[in-house]
């Protein structure tokens, strides 16, 4: 199968073209979109800085061998635990973390642990009071337990799939 790659610059050009078209078709909403874009970007700057620092620290302190040990094929339960914890504690949008995960993947991070990390991000600690307010405490506890369980299951399935695919 031919590997599909979407280059960042091409995608950026596509988005810029969309905005230009929007300016001609729906000028007012185009301005609001630009305004939202700027606000989101400013909001994300601290998160980006945090992730860049975290990536640098991981690269400095965790050598490829250690990443392989903690998050590689033989990382076992501790690998799952670290991924869950990382996912639950991580802030900001999912896409902000892709760069760091890709970097760790190039040093041996398992696909399954990426999946576990990304899904466990559904547990948002700062939003728990809001969740309890709307759904109640029982629902909040039960659904978050299931999110943890399904984050692990998804990771296991992904690893198994990748293992089978590499055999073919």
Partner 1 sequence: MPMMISIIGLVGIFQVYITPDMISKLFGYSVLSDILTGTFVGAIANGHGSLSFIIAKGLKAQGVSIYALSTFTLAWVSLGFVQLPAEASMFGVRFTVIRNILAILSTILITYLTIITINMGHL
Q: By the criterion CB under 8 A, which residues form the site for partner 1?
A: 3-9, 11-12, 14-16, 18-19, 22, 29, 32-37, 40-41, 44, 48, 93-96, 98-99, 101-102, 105, 111, 114-115, 118-119, 121-122, 124, 127, 130-131, 133-135, 138-139, 142-143, 146-147, 150, 153-154, 157-158, 161, 165
Residue 68: CB minimum distance to partner 1, A:
18
What span, in angstroms and rounded, lies between the C-alpha atoms of 167 and 67? 24
**Smallest distance, partner 1 to C-beta of residue 89, A:** 14
Taking the C-alpha atoms of residue 138 and residue 83, their distance in angstroms, rounded to an integer, is 25
Integer Cα distance of 49 and 163 in angstroms: 35
Q: How far is the CB of 67 from partner 1 (least distance, A)?
A: 16
Q: Two tokens at 119?
A: 């899904």
- Closer by beta carbon to partner 1, 32 or else 57: 32
71: closest CA among 89, 60, 85, 54?
85
**Nearest approach, Cβ of 118 to partner 1 (angstroms)?**
7
- Of residues 61 and 166, the one with the C-beta less far from partner 1: 166
Quickly list H helices, the chain. 8-25, 27-61, 64-71, 76-89, 98-105, 111-120, 128-135, 137-167
Smaller CB separation from partner 1, 79 or 118: 118
């Amino acid at each position: 199968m031919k590997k599909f790659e979407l280059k960042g610059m091409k995608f950026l050009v596509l988005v810029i073209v969309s905005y230009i078209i929007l300016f001609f078709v729906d000028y007012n909403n185009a301005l609001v979109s630009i305004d939202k874009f700027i606000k989101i970007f400013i909001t994300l700057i601290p998160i980006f800085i945090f992730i860049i620092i975290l990536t640098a620290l991981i690269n400095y302190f965790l050598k490829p061998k250690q990443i392989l040990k903690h998050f590689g094929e033989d990382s076992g339960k501790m690998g799952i635990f670290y991924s869950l914890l990382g996912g639950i504690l991580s802030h900001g949008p999912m896409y902000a973390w892709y760069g760091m995960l890709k970097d760790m993947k190039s040093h041996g991070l398992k696909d399954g642990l990426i999946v576990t990390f990304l899904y466990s991000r559904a547990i948002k600690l700062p939003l728990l009071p809001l969740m309890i307010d709307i759904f109640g405490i029982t629902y909040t506890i039960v659904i978050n337990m299931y999110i943890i369980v399904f984050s692990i299951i998804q990771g296991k399935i992904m690893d198994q799939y990748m293992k089978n695919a590499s055999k073919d």
